[in-house]
Chain A
Amino acid sequence: MIRSMLVAMLTSVIISTTAFSQTQPLFKGSESVPADAIILFDGKDLSQWVQRGSEDEPAKWKVENGYTIAGGGDIWTRRKFADCQLHVEFWLPLMADRSGQARANSGVFLQGWNYEVQILDSYGQKPGKGDCGAIYNIHPPMVNACRPPETWQSFDIFFHAPKFDEKGNKIANARMSVLLNGVWIHENADVPTCTPSASMPEPREPDRIVLQDHGCPVRFRNIWVRPLQ
């Protein structure tokens, strides 16, 4: 009798805890970052980041005035992610004496150094597969939604990792939807290969988010991620 009462109590506690976690509000008021997000950079420190290729080498990028500046090599997150919603804000320097891929180049890579959304000063250009917002070398953005350099911009990225069956055969390509500055630039885009090279092996496990140092002093702020599912 006591045991069955205990079981019943325990069960009800488990059920109510589960119900609570499902209905816990994502927002308390007008804040912009939902409560289920992991904050990767809040403007104060790079404790969530290390140098790309390392497990533990502190990120070398400078942090000042609530942003971080690319410099000292690529950085990646300590934590690993697969399907996720990622918010990133970036600011491009005006490099008026440069053109093409030399003009405020950087990038955001998902699930390791594998799937890049390009960052570049493409303001006013007809966008190609290497321009700002492109899924690098695969899909140009649907529209050029860039702001001018020296203006904060945002990516909202919805990423789905490629899926593999038990034998390791790929059964679904990676997919991405992206908003640049609130404008839809990719919708459920099929990403059949890694973006640095089509011959790279695709990731089978969750992996890190990478920010690229391409030798241009690009700034980042307000970075958060919500794992999906």
Chain B
Amino acid sequence: MTERMVPRMNRFVFVIALLCFALPALAAETPLFKGSEGIPADAVILFDGKDLDNWAYLDGRPADWKVTDGYMEVRGGNIRTKQEFGDCQIHVEFWLPNMDKASGQGRANSGVYVQGSYEIQILDSYGFGKESGDCGGIYGIAAPLVNACRPPEHWQSYDILFHAPRYDDKGNKIANARLTVLHNGVLIHENVELPNATAAGIQRDLSKPGPLMLQDHGNPVRFRNIWIRPLTTL
């Protein structure tokens, strides 16, 4: 068949069809990295050290944690992302003050809440403790496999892989939430099922996407370099 024989309309349809197939394929092949940068191109950058534009207090006021020297420090209550997420990969870095006069839950306490509901505990547990209330614990649900803490006054990291719980049309839960967590690059949770939210979560409807929340527990904990890769939408 020569080009002349293809009716104009068919050619139009052909071009549209070609675009429909070609564009998603192209999108899938856009590289995540151009060189040695640390953050993949499909990540949403939640905090790059400069401002808190992506964050708010729980009552909706703009977040006013102290931002200085590329980090933020807790002040005036918990903050949450304005954007909400379902299944995702999260990178968070945190820094704990040395509170050697304090002990237990009073020692550099904070936390990262995924989907506004599931807290991965932040605490100065250096050198002791690997219960679910210690650093890296999924608070009240799962203890970390090992204590992978760095000493206070060092930057530490969580790399989190999260799957939100699933519900059927009638609102019955058909799959629990799941978490895999690396603490400073060390595996501390692997595909752990979460039968319920941890204490002090803010998400009412777990069938919907939720924010990432950072806890102000009254201790001057710092955060930097926070990014998230949405994996699927709920």
Contact = CB atoms under 8 A, between A and B. Distances in A.
B89 A158 contact: no
A23 B180 contact: no
B10 interface: no
A148 B35 contact: yes
B127 A32 contact: no
Interface of A: 22-23, 25-30, 32, 34, 36, 85, 87, 123-126, 143-148, 151-152, 156, 158, 177, 179, 181-184, 187-188, 226, 228
B42 to A, nearest CB: 7
Contact of A26 (B36, B129, B148): B148
Contact of B161 (A36, A145, A147, A187): A187
17 contacts: A23-B130, A25-B149, A26-B147, A26-B184, A30-B155, A34-B185, A144-B28, A147-B33, A147-B35, A151-B35, A156-B185, A177-B190, A177-B191, A182-B91, A183-B229, A184-B89, A188-B190
Contacts of B129: 23
Contact of B191 (A124, A148, A181, A188): A188
Contacts of A85: 186-187
B36 A144 contact: no
B148 A145 contact: no
Contact of A126 (B25, B89, B126, B151): B25
A27 B146 contact: no
A183 B29 contact: no
A194 to B, nearest CB: 23
Contact of B32 (A25, A144, A177, A187): A144
Contacts of B190: 158, 177, 188
Nearest to A148: B35
Given A126-B28, A148-B35, A181-B33, A26 B186 contact: yes
A29 to B, nearest CB: 6
B147 A183 contact: no
Chief secondary structure at chain A's binding surface? loop
Interface in B118-144: 126-130
Contacts of A143: 32, 42
Interface of B: 25, 28-29, 31-36, 38, 40, 42, 89, 91, 126-130, 145-151, 154-155, 159, 161, 180, 182, 184-187, 190-191, 229
A145 B34 CA distance: 10
B128 A183 contact: no
B140 to A, nearest CB: 21
Given A27-B151, A32-B185, A152 B36 contact: yes
Q: What 8 A-B pairs have minimum CB-CB distances, sorted nearest first?
A: A147-B33, A27-B150, A188-B191, A26-B148, A145-B32, A34-B186, A126-B29, A183-B40
A188 B35 CA distance: 28
Nearest to B43: A183
A124 B184 contact: no
A145 B36 contact: no
Nearest to A125: B29
A26 B32 CA distance: 31
Contacts of B151: 25, 27-29
B147 A123 contact: no
B38 A182 contact: yes
Nearest to B35: A151
A28 B42 CA distance: 33
Contacts of B148: 26-27, 34
Contacts of B128: 23
Contacts of B33: 145-148, 151, 181
B126 A187 contact: no
Task: Pick the most buried of B29, B33, B130, B187: most chain A CB atoms within 10 A of its CB.
Answer: B33
